[in-house]
């Protein structure tokens, strides 16, 4: 059984059919790419998968469990985490606190412990600190742990968003244009990090990206969207040589 099973997914905004009849099946451990021209509905698919929008038609199953109709926070607990195209960090919180905030459901203690700093508070906060530092180390952010997220350079902010998403302990990680605004060196580094993350945390990754070098470099399968519908899907070689994909997106 695949980890993520999407069938006939569609959403209409008034008369506009933003996403129509999209099918997607992602196996565990796969690195899946979602590409297409601007306005094709890629981010809308992400928003549907994470419960920001409710689909008009179709089903979304993770591990066989239907998640349509659930709130974003419930879907996060079901195992889907995401990053955003326009970075959405908690800017006035420290890098460390950004990650610790994401442990919200992983490490829990009650209100009384919060107010009175009962022994559990110190124990669990320490545990969180250690776990957070471990994740930050993977992204080479451990040196900036006490900086405000706002003060990180752009590339590191992107990384921190991935780190924060990872802290929720997801099965499926959705990356919305992780390499946007990065230079070729940063992109190459990011590719390594994405692979490392997949292998180390045994997670599945679905990513939207316009940088074809990144997509062909790491994605095992690709789905191409155009005007909200599937244009093609399959392995990178097949998809990128598809004449329709070339006319609609890649160009001659």
Partner 1 sequence: MKKDKKVTNNNSIFTLKNLIYLICVIAGYFVLTYLAEGDLLSRQSKSLIIPMGINIILAVSLSLTVGFLGELSLGHAGFMAIGGYTGALITLHMNLPKGIEFTIALIAGGIMAAIFGFLIGLPVLRLKGDYLAIVTLAFGEIIRSVLTSLKFTGGAQGLTKIPRYSNYTWVYIVMVLTVVLISNFVKSRHGRAIISVRENYIAAESIGIKVSKYKVMAFVIAAFFAGVAGVFYGHNLSILKPGDFDYNKSIEILVIVVLGGMGNIKGSIIAAVALTILPEMLRSVDEFRTLLYAVVLIAAMLFRSSGFKTKLEESGKLPKFMKSNKNNAK
Closest CB 213 distance from partner 1, rounded Å = 28
Give the residue carrying structure tokens 């990650």: 99
Quick check: 175 and 83 in contact, CB under 8 A?
yes
Q: Pick the closer one to partner 1 by CB: 173 or 248.
A: 173
Q: Interface with partner 1 includes 115 (CB under 8 A)?
A: yes
- Tell which positions 11-50 bind partner 1, by CB under 8 A: 50
Which helix (DSSP H) or strand (DSSP E) does residue 74 occupy? helix 72-78
Q: Interface with partner 1 includes 141 (CB under 8 A)?
A: no
Vertex 106: Cα angle to 44 and 71 (nearest 5):
30
User: Contact with partner 1 (CB under 8 A): which of 23, 59, 66, 91?
Assistant: 91
Q: Pick the closer one to partner 1 by CB: 168 or 233.
A: 168
Q: Interface with partner 1 includes 100 (CB under 8 A)?
A: yes
Q: Pick the closer one to partner 1 by CB: 28 or 125.
A: 125
Please state the length of the chain: 252
Cα gap 141→149, rounded to integer Å: 11
Bridging pattern class, strands 204-208 and 31-35: parallel
Quick check: 71 and 34 in contact, CB under 8 A?
no
Quick check: 26 and 79 in contact, CB under 8 A?
no
Q: Interface with partner 1 includes 138 (CB under 8 A)?
A: no
Q: Pick the closer one to partner 1 by CB: 127 or 237.
A: 127
Q: Pick the closer one to partner 1 by CB: 8 or 71.
A: 71
Binding string, residues 43-82; x marks residues near partner 1 by CB under 8 A? -------x-x------------------xxx--xx---xx
Give the residue carrying structure tokens 């997801």: 170
Tokens describing residue 250: 């890649």
Q: How many binding residues for partner 1 (CB under 8 A)? A: 53
Q: Which CA distances in Å does 107 have to 117, 123, 232?
A: 15, 11, 41
Q: Which residues bind partner 1 (CB under 8 A)?
A: 50, 52, 71-73, 76-77, 81-82, 84, 88-94, 96-97, 100-105, 107-109, 111, 113-117, 121-122, 124-126, 129, 133, 142-148, 151, 164-165, 167-168
């Amino acid at each position: 059984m695949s980890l993520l099973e999407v069938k006939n997914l569609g959403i209409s905004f008034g008369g506009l059919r933003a996403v129509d009849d999209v099918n997607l099946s992602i196996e565990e451990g796969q690195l899946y790419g979602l590409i297409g021209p601007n306005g094709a509905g890629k981010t809308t698919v992400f928003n549907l998968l994470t419960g920001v929008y409710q689909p008009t038609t179709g089903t979304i199953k993770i591990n066989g469990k239907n998640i349509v109709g659930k709130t974003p926070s419930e879907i996060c607990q079901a195992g889907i985490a995401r990053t955003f195209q326009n970075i959405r960090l908690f800017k006035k919180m420290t890098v460390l606190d950004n990650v610790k905030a994401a442990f919200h459901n992983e490490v829990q203690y009650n209100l009384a412990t919060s107010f009175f700093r009962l022994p559990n508070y110190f124990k669990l906060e320490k545990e969180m600190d250690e776990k957070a530092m471990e994740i930050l180390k993977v992204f080479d952010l451990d040196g900036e742990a006490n900086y405000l997220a706002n003060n990180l350079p752009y590339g590191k902010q992107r990384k921190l968003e991935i780190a924060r998403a990872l802290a929720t302990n997801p099965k499926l990680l959705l990356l919305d244009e992780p390499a946007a605004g990065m230079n070729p060196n940063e992109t190459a580094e990011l590719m390594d990090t994405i692979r490392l993350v997949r292998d180390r945390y045994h997670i599945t990754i679905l990513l939207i990206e316009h940088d074809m070098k990144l997509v062909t470099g790491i994605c095992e399968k690709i789905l191409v969207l155009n005007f909200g519908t599937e244009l093609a899907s399959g392995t990178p070689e097949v998809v990128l040589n598809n004449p329709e994909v070339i006319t609609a997106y890649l160009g001659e």
